[in-house]
Amino acid sequence: MKLHIIETGKFKLDGGAMFGVVPKRMWEKLHPADEYNLCTWQMRCLLVEDGDRKILIDTGIGNKQDERFRKHFYPHDENNFGSELAKIGLTKDDITDVFLTHFHFDHIGGALEYDPSGKIVPVFPNATYWSNEVHYDWAYNTNPREAASFLKDNFVPLKDMGILKFIDVQEGIQFSDNIRISFVNGHTEAMMIPYLGLPSGNTLIYCADLIPSHHHIALPYIMAYDMKPLETLKEKQTLHEKAEDGKHFLFFEHDLDVACGAISKNEQGRVGFGGKVELASIL
Protein backbone atom coordinates (compact mmCIF):
# COMPACT_ATOMS: atom_id res chain seq x y z
CA MET A 1 0.00 0.00 0.00
CA LYS A 2 1.11 3.53 -0.82
CA LEU A 3 -0.48 6.77 0.40
CA HIS A 4 -0.23 10.17 -1.28
CA ILE A 5 -1.62 13.45 0.06
CA ILE A 6 -3.31 15.48 -2.67
CA GLU A 7 -3.90 19.14 -1.83
CA THR A 8 -6.66 20.64 -3.99
CA GLY A 9 -6.75 24.17 -2.56
CA LYS A 10 -8.20 26.26 0.23
CA PHE A 11 -11.51 27.99 0.92
CA LYS A 12 -13.18 30.04 3.64
CA LEU A 13 -16.06 29.31 6.01
CA ASP A 14 -17.59 31.23 8.87
CA GLY A 15 -15.65 30.58 12.07
CA GLY A 16 -18.74 30.42 14.26
CA ALA A 17 -20.31 27.84 11.97
CA MET A 18 -17.16 25.74 12.02
CA PHE A 19 -16.86 25.71 15.80
CA GLY A 20 -20.52 25.58 16.80
CA VAL A 21 -21.29 26.35 20.43
CA VAL A 22 -17.65 26.97 21.36
CA PRO A 23 -17.23 30.73 22.07
CA LYS A 24 -15.15 32.76 19.64
CA ARG A 25 -12.82 33.91 22.40
CA MET A 26 -11.76 30.24 22.69
CA TRP A 27 -11.64 29.07 19.08
CA GLU A 28 -10.01 32.20 17.64
CA LYS A 29 -6.88 31.38 19.66
CA LEU A 30 -6.67 28.13 17.72
CA HIS A 31 -7.75 29.32 14.28
CA PRO A 32 -7.92 33.12 13.84
CA ALA A 33 -10.60 34.56 11.58
CA ASP A 34 -10.36 37.47 9.15
CA GLU A 35 -12.30 40.74 9.45
CA TYR A 36 -15.44 39.02 8.13
CA ASN A 37 -15.21 36.22 10.71
CA LEU A 38 -14.13 33.78 8.00
CA CYS A 39 -11.52 31.10 8.64
CA THR A 40 -9.38 29.51 5.93
CA TRP A 41 -9.49 25.73 5.54
CA GLN A 42 -7.65 23.19 3.46
CA MET A 43 -9.27 20.76 1.04
CA ARG A 44 -7.04 17.71 1.34
CA CYS A 45 -7.61 14.42 -0.45
CA LEU A 46 -5.86 11.09 -0.07
CA LEU A 47 -4.77 8.79 -2.88
CA VAL A 48 -4.49 5.16 -1.82
CA GLU A 49 -2.64 2.62 -3.93
CA ASP A 50 -4.20 -0.62 -2.67
CA GLY A 51 -3.17 -3.59 -4.75
CA ASP A 52 -4.07 -2.86 -8.38
CA ARG A 53 -6.47 -0.10 -7.38
CA LYS A 54 -5.66 3.58 -7.20
CA ILE A 55 -8.36 5.01 -4.94
CA LEU A 56 -8.85 8.76 -4.56
CA ILE A 57 -10.78 9.74 -1.44
CA ASP A 58 -12.80 12.93 -2.08
CA THR A 59 -12.12 15.53 -4.76
CA GLY A 60 -12.22 19.03 -3.28
CA ILE A 61 -14.35 21.89 -4.57
CA GLY A 62 -13.61 21.72 -8.30
CA ASN A 63 -13.91 24.55 -10.81
CA LYS A 64 -17.49 24.30 -12.11
CA GLN A 65 -19.15 26.91 -9.92
CA ASP A 66 -19.85 30.48 -10.93
CA GLU A 67 -18.44 33.75 -9.60
CA ARG A 68 -21.31 34.24 -7.16
CA PHE A 69 -20.46 30.91 -5.51
CA ARG A 70 -16.77 31.78 -5.39
CA LYS A 71 -17.51 35.08 -3.64
CA HIS A 72 -19.26 33.15 -0.86
CA PHE A 73 -16.47 30.64 -0.23
CA TYR A 74 -13.32 32.27 -1.65
CA PRO A 75 -11.61 29.18 -3.12
CA HIS A 76 -7.93 29.95 -3.62
CA ASP A 77 -4.47 28.34 -3.91
CA GLU A 78 -6.21 25.81 -6.14
CA ASN A 79 -4.22 22.89 -7.50
CA ASN A 80 -4.90 20.99 -10.69
CA PHE A 81 -5.32 17.24 -10.31
CA GLY A 82 -3.23 16.68 -13.42
CA SER A 83 -0.20 18.50 -12.04
CA GLU A 84 -0.63 17.06 -8.54
CA LEU A 85 -0.77 13.50 -9.85
CA ALA A 86 2.19 14.12 -12.16
CA LYS A 87 4.32 14.74 -9.06
CA ILE A 88 3.86 11.05 -8.15
CA GLY A 89 4.13 9.73 -11.70
CA LEU A 90 0.40 9.28 -12.35
CA THR A 91 -2.29 10.80 -14.55
CA LYS A 92 -6.02 11.25 -14.12
CA ASP A 93 -6.49 8.22 -16.36
CA ASP A 94 -4.72 6.03 -13.77
CA ILE A 95 -7.35 6.54 -11.05
CA THR A 96 -9.51 3.41 -10.79
CA ASP A 97 -11.85 4.50 -7.98
CA VAL A 98 -13.12 7.77 -6.52
CA PHE A 99 -14.49 7.28 -3.01
CA LEU A 100 -16.85 10.10 -2.04
CA THR A 101 -17.32 10.40 1.71
CA HIS A 102 -20.39 12.60 1.13
CA PHE A 103 -21.82 15.03 -1.40
CA HIS A 104 -21.17 18.44 0.17
CA PHE A 105 -19.61 20.63 -2.52
CA ASP A 106 -16.15 20.83 -0.93
CA HIS A 107 -15.83 17.03 -1.05
CA ILE A 108 -17.36 16.16 -4.42
CA GLY A 109 -17.06 19.31 -6.55
CA GLY A 110 -13.87 18.10 -8.24
CA ALA A 111 -15.42 14.86 -9.48
CA LEU A 112 -16.80 16.48 -12.62
CA GLU A 113 -15.76 19.33 -14.89
CA TYR A 114 -16.81 21.08 -18.09
CA ASP A 115 -14.97 20.18 -21.28
CA PRO A 116 -14.16 22.89 -23.88
CA SER A 117 -17.56 22.42 -25.50
CA GLY A 118 -19.37 23.04 -22.20
CA LYS A 119 -20.29 19.39 -21.67
CA ILE A 120 -19.97 18.01 -18.14
CA VAL A 121 -17.52 15.11 -17.99
CA PRO A 122 -15.79 13.03 -15.29
CA VAL A 123 -12.41 14.35 -14.18
CA PHE A 124 -11.20 10.75 -13.87
CA PRO A 125 -12.49 9.05 -17.04
CA ASN A 126 -11.54 5.48 -16.12
CA ALA A 127 -12.72 5.56 -12.52
CA THR A 128 -15.74 4.12 -10.80
CA TYR A 129 -17.24 6.64 -8.39
CA TRP A 130 -18.57 5.33 -5.06
CA SER A 131 -21.26 6.50 -2.65
CA ASN A 132 -24.26 4.82 -1.03
CA GLU A 133 -27.93 4.95 -1.89
CA VAL A 134 -29.02 6.30 1.50
CA HIS A 135 -26.78 9.33 1.14
CA TYR A 136 -27.65 9.84 -2.54
CA ASP A 137 -31.36 9.96 -1.72
CA TRP A 138 -30.69 12.30 1.21
CA ALA A 139 -28.74 14.67 -1.03
CA TYR A 140 -31.17 14.49 -3.95
CA ASN A 141 -34.25 15.13 -1.78
CA THR A 142 -32.42 17.64 0.33
CA ASN A 143 -33.51 19.78 3.27
CA PRO A 144 -33.35 23.60 3.53
CA ARG A 145 -30.29 23.51 5.81
CA GLU A 146 -28.16 21.53 3.38
CA ALA A 147 -29.56 22.73 0.07
CA ALA A 148 -26.66 25.13 -0.48
CA SER A 149 -24.17 22.30 0.05
CA PHE A 150 -25.80 19.65 -2.14
CA LEU A 151 -25.40 20.96 -5.68
CA LYS A 152 -27.01 18.48 -8.05
CA ASP A 153 -24.61 19.16 -10.91
CA ASN A 154 -21.92 17.66 -8.65
CA PHE A 155 -23.51 14.23 -8.33
CA VAL A 156 -26.60 13.62 -10.50
CA PRO A 157 -24.52 13.44 -13.73
CA LEU A 158 -22.38 10.71 -12.14
CA LYS A 159 -25.46 8.52 -11.80
CA ASP A 160 -26.83 9.48 -15.20
CA MET A 161 -23.52 8.46 -16.81
CA GLY A 162 -23.66 5.08 -15.07
CA ILE A 163 -20.32 5.56 -13.33
CA LEU A 164 -21.66 6.00 -9.79
CA LYS A 165 -21.92 2.78 -7.81
CA PHE A 166 -23.49 2.28 -4.38
CA ILE A 167 -21.96 0.58 -1.35
CA ASP A 168 -24.24 -1.29 1.05
CA VAL A 169 -24.76 0.67 4.26
CA GLN A 170 -23.37 -2.05 6.49
CA GLU A 171 -21.00 -1.17 9.32
CA GLY A 172 -17.48 -2.44 8.74
CA ILE A 173 -18.09 -3.40 5.12
CA GLN A 174 -14.88 -4.04 3.19
CA PHE A 175 -14.29 -1.66 0.28
CA SER A 176 -10.91 -2.96 -0.84
CA ASP A 177 -8.21 -5.31 0.44
CA ASN A 178 -7.21 -2.83 3.14
CA ILE A 179 -10.08 -0.37 3.46
CA ARG A 180 -13.23 -0.92 5.49
CA ILE A 181 -16.01 1.60 5.98
CA SER A 182 -17.82 3.04 8.97
CA PHE A 183 -21.05 5.02 8.49
CA VAL A 184 -21.91 8.10 10.54
CA ASN A 185 -25.02 10.28 10.52
CA GLY A 186 -24.32 13.32 12.67
CA HIS A 187 -22.84 15.63 10.06
CA THR A 188 -25.07 14.37 7.27
CA GLU A 189 -26.91 11.14 6.57
CA ALA A 190 -24.74 8.06 5.86
CA MET A 191 -21.39 9.83 5.53
CA MET A 192 -18.69 7.23 4.92
CA ILE A 193 -15.51 7.08 7.00
CA PRO A 194 -12.72 4.91 5.52
CA TYR A 195 -10.49 2.96 7.89
CA LEU A 196 -7.21 2.10 6.18
CA GLY A 197 -5.34 -0.96 7.46
CA LEU A 198 -1.65 -0.15 7.01
CA PRO A 199 1.18 -2.68 6.46
CA SER A 200 2.64 -1.76 9.87
CA GLY A 201 -0.51 -2.90 11.67
CA ASN A 202 -1.58 0.68 12.30
CA THR A 203 -4.89 2.10 11.08
CA LEU A 204 -5.45 5.46 9.44
CA ILE A 205 -8.95 6.92 9.85
CA TYR A 206 -9.97 9.36 7.12
CA CYS A 207 -12.16 11.58 9.30
CA ALA A 208 -13.93 13.61 6.57
CA ASP A 209 -16.27 16.04 8.37
CA LEU A 210 -16.67 14.01 11.54
CA ILE A 211 -13.40 15.60 12.74
CA PRO A 212 -12.44 18.10 10.03
CA SER A 213 -9.31 19.40 11.78
CA HIS A 214 -7.21 18.64 14.83
CA HIS A 215 -9.00 21.55 16.54
CA HIS A 216 -12.20 19.47 16.40
CA ILE A 217 -10.94 16.45 18.33
CA ALA A 218 -12.32 17.62 21.69
CA LEU A 219 -15.95 16.58 22.09
CA PRO A 220 -17.61 20.05 22.35
CA TYR A 221 -16.02 21.21 19.07
CA ILE A 222 -18.86 20.25 16.74
CA MET A 223 -19.72 22.24 13.63
CA ALA A 224 -23.00 24.13 13.41
CA TYR A 225 -23.27 22.58 9.95
CA ASP A 226 -23.96 19.16 11.50
CA MET A 227 -27.55 17.96 11.12
CA LYS A 228 -27.53 15.92 14.33
CA PRO A 229 -24.89 17.31 16.71
CA LEU A 230 -25.69 14.86 19.51
CA GLU A 231 -25.13 12.01 17.06
CA THR A 232 -21.81 13.59 16.12
CA LEU A 233 -20.93 13.67 19.81
CA LYS A 234 -21.55 9.93 20.14
CA GLU A 235 -19.70 9.18 16.91
CA LYS A 236 -16.67 11.14 18.07
CA GLN A 237 -16.69 9.27 21.37
CA THR A 238 -16.69 5.97 19.48
CA LEU A 239 -13.79 7.13 17.33
CA HIS A 240 -11.89 8.28 20.41
CA GLU A 241 -12.25 4.85 22.00
CA LYS A 242 -10.79 3.20 18.90
CA ALA A 243 -7.91 5.67 18.60
CA GLU A 244 -6.78 5.47 22.23
CA ASP A 245 -4.72 2.32 21.55
CA GLY A 246 -1.88 4.28 19.94
CA LYS A 247 -2.28 2.36 16.69
CA HIS A 248 -5.07 4.44 15.17
CA PHE A 249 -4.22 7.78 13.56
CA LEU A 250 -6.48 10.49 12.16
CA PHE A 251 -6.37 12.07 8.70
CA PHE A 252 -7.74 15.63 8.68
CA GLU A 253 -9.32 16.79 5.43
CA HIS A 254 -9.68 20.49 6.29
CA ASP A 255 -6.81 21.21 8.68
CA LEU A 256 -4.56 24.00 7.42
CA ASP A 257 -1.36 22.67 8.96
CA VAL A 258 -1.85 19.06 10.11
CA ALA A 259 -2.65 16.28 7.66
CA CYS A 260 -2.30 13.40 10.09
CA GLY A 261 -2.21 13.21 13.86
CA ALA A 262 -2.67 11.18 17.00
CA ILE A 263 -4.95 11.67 19.98
CA SER A 264 -4.07 11.68 23.66
CA LYS A 265 -5.93 11.41 26.96
CA ASN A 266 -4.98 13.37 30.07
CA GLU A 267 -5.27 12.33 33.71
CA GLN A 268 -8.85 13.60 33.85
CA GLY A 269 -9.78 11.37 30.92
CA ARG A 270 -10.18 14.25 28.49
CA VAL A 271 -9.21 13.42 24.92
CA GLY A 272 -7.24 15.94 22.85
CA PHE A 273 -4.68 16.33 20.11
CA GLY A 274 -1.66 14.12 20.66
CA GLY A 275 0.61 15.64 18.03
CA LYS A 276 1.30 15.77 14.31
CA VAL A 277 2.35 12.52 12.63
CA GLU A 278 4.00 12.01 9.26
CA LEU A 279 2.29 9.40 7.11
CA ALA A 280 5.60 7.70 6.31
CA SER A 281 6.21 7.05 10.01
CA ILE A 282 3.02 5.01 10.51
CA LEU A 283 3.05 2.96 7.29
Ramachandran region, residue 271 (left: φ > 0; alpha: ψ -120 to 50; beta: rest): beta
* Spans of the chain, pLDDT less than 50: none
The total number of structural domains in the chain stands at: 1
The pLDDT score that the predictor gives to residue 52 is: 94
Question: CA separation (Å) from 239 to 143, 145, 187?
Answer: 27, 26, 14
Q: Which residues pair with 99 in a beta bridge?
A: 57, 130
Cβ count within 10 A of residue 242: 14
Question: CA separation (Å) from 246 to 38, 83, 112, 202?
Answer: 34, 35, 38, 8
CATH number at residue 28: 3.60.15.10
Tens digit of each residue's pLDDT (9 = 90 or more) over 177-188: 999 999 999 999
The pLDDT score that the predictor gives to residue 267 is: 84
Cβ count within 10 A of residue 106: 25
Residue 72 and residue 67: Cα distance in Å, rounded? 9
The domain of 9 spans 2-282
